[in-house]
């Protein structure tokens, strides 16, 4: 049986989470992404796997022709209520953009979603089809070198009083069931796919994309006062949480 990767079952919780001004989306991802995307009013921008429209809303406010796509009808309904007719929305999986003509999009953003998409090759092929020549694709993902589902964690070295990142596997591809919102005991899970960097860059090349920019983003958070505070803050600045990749269509 095919496992569900949509976040539709926790749509209201997810939308509420995004409203927290101190989360990673607001403090790390959004400001960096807007800096790099350089949105212009005469562009058509696709927010792929847009969820409840967190990024879609900001893109639309820039005056662009904005399109939001997500597999979850529940999340799309929330986005429509929030954004209205300032953007056009479609309920569809990321690998099926058949409702968009060839070479009609200038830029595509896909934020913290590529790790939940199984047919990533087909998704990239569709993105290449709808992008104009020299169009850009902006991908933000959990950093695959440091955040491997169920195979990475923070550890404390008591002898040296130091914190470090433990990585138990990296090169092997994997897929794991993970809790959608740990701690709330809802039982709702999704599937997260881990792929090493070489997997992605081989795929980008095979699908006729060129990697034109890469950045690694750290957490903005600070530890509470205590004996490990200084060391935790130090390592937080050394180990990036997110990887940003800009692709250009050949």
Instruction: Report DSSP letters for 67-121, one per residue.
Output: EEEES-HHHHHHHHHHHGGGEEEEE--TT--TTS-TT-EEEEEEES-GGG-S-HH
φ, ψ for residue 120, nearest 5 deg: -65, -30
Give the least confident one: 13-17, 105-109, 120-124, 192-196. Answer: 13-17
Cα atoms in the 13 Å half-sphere on the side-chain side of 226: 8
Any idea which residue has 């409702």 for tokens?
99
φ, ψ for residue 164, nearest 5 deg: -145, 165
Cα atoms in the 13 Å half-sphere on the side-chain side of 93: 14
Distances (CA, A) of 49 to 38, 114, 164, 188: 20, 9, 33, 19
User: Is the pLDDT confidence value at 1 over 50?
Assistant: no
181: confidence class by pLDDT, cuts 50, 70, 90: low
Give the pLDDT confidence score for residue 191 in this predicted structure: 87
Cα 10 to Cα 13: distance, rounded to the nearest angstrom: 5
DSSP 3-state of 248:
strand
Exposure string (b/e) for 72-95, b if CB count within 10 Å is 16 or more? bebbbebbbeebeebbbbbebbbb
Work out the percent of the chain whose per-residue pLDDT is above 70: 89
Query: What is the assigned CATH class of domain 8-145+175-226+242-249?
Result: alpha beta
Give the pLDDT confidence score for residue 5 in this predicted structure: 52
């Amino acid at each position: 049986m095919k496992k569900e990767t949509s976040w539709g079952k926790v749509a209201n919780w997810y939308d509420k989470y995004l409203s927290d001004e101190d989360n990673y989306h607001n403090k790390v991802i959004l400001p960096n992404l807007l800096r790099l995307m350089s949105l212009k009013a005469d562009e058509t921008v696709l927010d792929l796997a847009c969820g409840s429209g967190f990024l879609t809303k900001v893109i639309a406010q820039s005056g662009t022709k904005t399109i939001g796509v997500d597999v979850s009808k529940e999340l799309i309904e929330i986005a429509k209520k929030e954004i209205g007719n300032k953007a056009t929305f479609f309920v569809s999986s990321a690998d099926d953009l058949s409702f968009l003509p060839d070479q009609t999009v200038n830029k595509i953003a896909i934020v913290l979603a590529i790790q939940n998409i199984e047919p990533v090759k087909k998704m990239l092929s569709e993105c290449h089809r709808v992008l104009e020549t020299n169009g850009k694709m902006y991908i933000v993902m959990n950093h695959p070198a440091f955040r491997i589902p169920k195979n990475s964690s923070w550890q404390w070295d008591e002898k040296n009083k130091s914190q470090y990142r433990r990585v138990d596997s990296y090169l092997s591809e994997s897929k794991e069931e993970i809790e959608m919102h740990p701690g709330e005991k809802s039982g709702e899970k999704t599937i997260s796919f881990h792929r090493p960097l070489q997997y992605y860059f081989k795929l980008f090349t095979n699908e006729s994309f060129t990697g034109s920019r890469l950045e690694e983003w750290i957490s903005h958070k600070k530890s509470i006062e205590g004996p490990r505070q200084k060391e935790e803050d130090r390592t937080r600045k050394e180990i990036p949480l997110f990887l940003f990749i800009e692709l250009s269509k050949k």
